[in-house]
Amino acid sequence: MAEDGGVGDGRDRTPSARADVCVVGSGPAGALVAHRLADAGADVVVLEAGPRFDFSRRREQQEEHIRPGMDDLWGMGGPRDDYTTAGKHYPLNAARVKGVGGSTLHWQGMVMRLHERDFEMDTRYGLGADWPIDYEDLRPHYADAERELGVAGAMDNPYAPPREEPFPLSAFPPSHSDSLFAEACERLGIDMHSVPNARNSESYDGRSACQGYGTCRPVCPSGAKYTAESHVDKAETAGARVIDHAPVQRLEHDESGEVVEAAVYATPDGNEHRQTARRFVVACGGVENARLLLLSESERYPDGLANTSGAVGRFFMDHLFAGAGGRLDEPTRQNHIGFITSECHQFYDDEEPIEGVKLEFLNYAGPSPVIEALHAETWGDELLDQLRESYGTHIAMGGLVEQLPDAENRVTLDPERRDDHGNPVPHIEWSLSERTRDAIRRANEVQHAILEELGASIEWTVGPGATGPAYHQMGTTRMGTDPDESVVDSTCRTHDLSNLWVVGSSVFPTGGAMNPTLTIAALSLRAADSLADSL
């Protein structure tokens, strides 16, 4: 699956003698920045904490996924990835990957733009915060990001913000169960529309069209789903250097405290190295971005690097899941594909509750017949009868609900627990407000109404008391105009240090209820343009 990264693997992990830009992390944010800058002629070094995974093993990984009792496909867990939580338990390792490509290796691939209201929540509603940019500022970068990722979609969403051009690829057609939902939604006056997906509906950018394996999460064997490996490869072709198994321990600044001088990283041989550069970009994800800055404390920055505002680690947000499902007395053909083709933004801008709600019409519900067969204790005709009884009539809806920023939801360093390099592990304090729970209840009400109109017997509901995160970690290095209240400016450059940028969902002042990766990509491309101008 991955190079072992051990002593003797033959890889040179010593620092580059000259670097214009050092990027920490090779997920979508870091990969896009690295490629854009390398393509413009900059000397770029990327430091990645995890391994480089072997694409030729994706089919084998898929087979491992459907077998019972297999370990995590992406090697998460153990002292390297340890963490602690308080308040509502936050299962951090359930949906993150350390390695070249980051979380895009196992993401679901839905990519929609934030709505215009998401950038001005304080102005409109007196809630949350305003972004230092508005939708129009990010609009051209959204289009750029859609081209880079290869987004399949249709201009059929009446609630979406304005666009400047069609999607690069045509949308995936609605599934059979989408057509069942459509009949009930039409009777209820509820609009359905397509979902933009970062997977190829036709060959694009050297990657094949979707083959319909149905295991998009956790692994796409065909390569049709976008992963940041694509832009890592492009960055390397343009001259960038990527060092894997190189977890950055801290960033060091000069005597004045105005610029970062080096990223100190560890290698499997037990040594530490200092990579110097003219510019630095932190792109480690919503939790690790904050943790690295906190680990980089100094006499000048006793509360963590770039943290004179005290906002580093605070305002941690995620999206909450709301869902309901059951059975119909007819075939639903669920588990047909492993991604969502239809959704509803109709209730996103509802005045009550203010939190955004995005509804999803799931193409998968109930047990997979393959996985159920592998776990079964019966054989032959008995097993076949069991599968016929359990498979094919399930139907379900999902949804994402917005969580507004709260300074008490935060990422700090655990003073007692250490990782494999002796550093404090991240500690996540997370809780839900009653306003957020009200929004989840609202989502459940609409979901139940649709399922009941469909004639389904509702068997389960994920509501306010049972909800969990969508694993979209946001807000911990928020952007803003006031250095006393934010960590980075509108270009993602830190207020405190002139040569340090932070990119990714950690810079979001609010999170809306849209999957964040397209916004991550758009902001990263915008930051790369700003950074290039500074070189």
| Banded pLDDT at 271 (limits 50, 70, 90) | very high
| Banded pLDDT at 333 (limits 50, 70, 90) | confident
Indicate whether 388 pLDDT > 90.
Answer: no
d(CA 532, CA 535) in angstroms, rounded, equals: 5
| Banded pLDDT at 383 (limits 50, 70, 90) | confident
| Banded pLDDT at 364 (limits 50, 70, 90) | confident
Contacts of 412 (CB under 8 A, 6+ apart): 294, 313, 426, 427, 429
Report the pLDDT value the prediction gives residue 108, as an integer from 0 to 100: 93
Report the pLDDT value the prediction gives residue 390, as an integer from 0 to 100: 66
Q: Do you know the residue count of the chain?
A: 535
| Banded pLDDT at 332 (limits 50, 70, 90) | confident
Per DSSP, which regions of 438-478 are E strands? 457-462
Report the pLDDT value the prediction gives residue 24, as an integer from 0 to 100: 98
Structure-token match 């949906």, residue found? 95
Contacts of 466 (CB under 8 A, 6+ apart): none
Structure token digits, residue 52: 């480089």
Q: State percent of the chain over pLDDT 70.
A: 94
∠ CA(130), CA(132), CA(137), 5° rounding?
115
Does residue 319 contact residue 511 with C-beta atoms inside 8 Å? Answer: yes
Minimum mean pLDDT range among 71-75, 92-96, 206-210:
71-75
Indicate whether 353 pLDDT > 80.
Answer: no
Answering whether pTM is above 0.85, one says: yes
- What does the pLDDT average to over 3-21? 82
CB atoms within 10 A of CB 271: 10
Indicate whether 375 pLDDT > 70.
Answer: no
d(CA 103, CA 117) in angstroms, rounded, equals: 27
| Banded pLDDT at 373 (limits 50, 70, 90) | low
Report the pLDDT value the prediction gives residue 2, as an integer from 0 to 100: 46
d(CA 339, CA 50) in angstroms, rounded, equals: 27
Does domain 21-64+92-151+160-534 fall under CATH 3.40.50.970? My reply is: no
Report the pLDDT value the prediction gives residue 1, as an integer from 0 to 100: 43
Report the pLDDT value the prediction gives residue 418, as an integer from 0 to 100: 97
Indicate whether 63 pLDDT > 90.
Answer: no
Average pLDDT, the chain: 93
∠ CA(325), CA(329), CA(332), 5° rounding?
60
Structure-token match 């666009």, residue found? 163
Computed on alpha carbons and rounded to an integer, the radius of gyration of the chain in Å comes to 23
Minimum mean pLDDT range among 46-60, 482-496, 507-521:
46-60
CB atoms within 10 A of CB 254: 13
What are the CA-CA distances from residue 468 to residues 64, 135, 319, 399, 400 (Å)?
Answer: 26, 29, 8, 11, 10
What's the number of CA atoms in the CB half-sphere (13 Å) around residue 67? Answer: 11
- What does the pLDDT average to over 445-453? 98
Q: State percent of the chain over pLDDT 90.
A: 83
Indicate whether 363 pLDDT > 70.
Answer: yes
Write a three-state SS string for 307-362.
CCCCCCCECCECCEECEEEEECCCCCCCCCCCCCCEEECCCCCCCCCCCCEEEEEC
CB atoms within 10 A of CB 56: 8
Q: Each residue of 398-427: pLDDT tens digit?
A: 999 999 999 999 999 999 999 999 999 999
What are the CA-CA distances from residue 330 to residues 179, 397, 447 (Å)?
Answer: 13, 17, 19
Does residue 443 contact residue 359 with C-beta atoms inside 8 Å? Answer: yes
What 3-state DSSP class applies to 120? strand
Positive/negative CA dihedral, 220, 146, 528, 475: negative
Indicate whether 330 pLDDT > 70.
Answer: yes
Structure token digits, residue 401: 């609900």
Minimum mean pLDDT range among 157-161, 212-216, 480-484:
212-216
